[in-house]
Amino acid sequence: MSRLEVLKGLESTLQGFLARAVEAEEERIDAFRCIDKLDGIARDSLRGRLVSARLGSWFSQNTNRLETDRFSKSEVTSIANLLGDIRSGLDDSDPESHKLAREIERWRGKGVVPKRKLVLKLKPRSAERDLLGLLTGFLTRGVEHLESGEFEGRHLLSILDDVLKSAAAKEDKMYIHLAGAMIYFLKMNGYKIGPFVRRLREIENERFGHINAE
């Protein structure tokens, strides 16, 4: 094989690789837009707004993606949790809402099932109050608070609002720690958290005085 033929072969291989990479990136971006649109529907649903038409359109646009198994595991989990939020607000007595609820159940039958539970198992610790012990204590009690059943079916933004109210009203520092963790999690997932950050800083300043960030 001549050098020219080798170069042409490499060029063809590179072109094929780039085409597949572009296709994969477009698929990922489409999935992100799909989940972002569903997130908007879920937030409006939790605010009591009518979302039946938008949700029906979302299902029609993404059913083929589900049937052809084009969602990743993490995308399926995100969609399942959002559909769970929406399902909790649907009125089964309304025919259109009942139809959409049945579609949500059909997606669950395809494996789109909410996965919210988080269980932390800690090894027995000594009586020494070290920093790691304090941290794991905050984490454990924070998880127990979120899993108490009080927030079942509510959106994370609504839950954060309640946690911030508790942080302002109660002496237990766990609520401040939990609010901070939730705000950082939302930031990592692209939510606008400016108002929540300001509220948390106000609570910290009220509780601890001015906090030097250095």
37 vs 19, higher pLDDT: 37
pLDDT class of 103 with cuts at 50, 70, 90? very high
Residue 204 confidence (pLDDT) above 70: yes
Place of tokens 């009203």: 169
Q: pLDDT value at position 27?
A: 66
| pLDDT value for 58 | 95
Distance set, CA 173 to CA 25, 90, 98, 138, 203 (Å): 43, 36, 43, 8, 11
Percentage with pLDDT > 70 across the chain: 77
pLDDT at position 124 is 47
| Confidence label for 107 from pLDDT (cuts 50, 70 and 90) | very high
Q: Would you say residue 212 has pLDDT above 60? A: no
3-7, 36-40, 197-201, range with the lowest pLDDT:
3-7
Give the C-alpha separation, 83 to 85, whole Å: 5
C-alpha 128: how far from its chain's center? 36
Q: State how far the Cα of 118 lies from the Cα of 77, in Å rounded to an integer.
A: 14
pLDDT class of 214 with cuts at 50, 70, 90: very low
Higher local confidence (pLDDT), 133 or 181: 181
pLDDT of 126 higher than 80: no
pLDDT at 93: 81
Whether the predicted pLDDT of 21 surpasses 50: no
Above 50 in pLDDT, residue 24?
Answer: yes
Contact 80, 113 (CB under 8 A): yes
What pLDDT digit, counting tens, does each position of 141-179 carry? Answer: 888 888 888 888 888 898 999 999 988 888 888 889 999
* Residue 125, pLDDT score: 47
Domain range list for the chain: 3-109, 131-213
Q: Considering the entire predicted model, what is its pTM?
A: 0.45
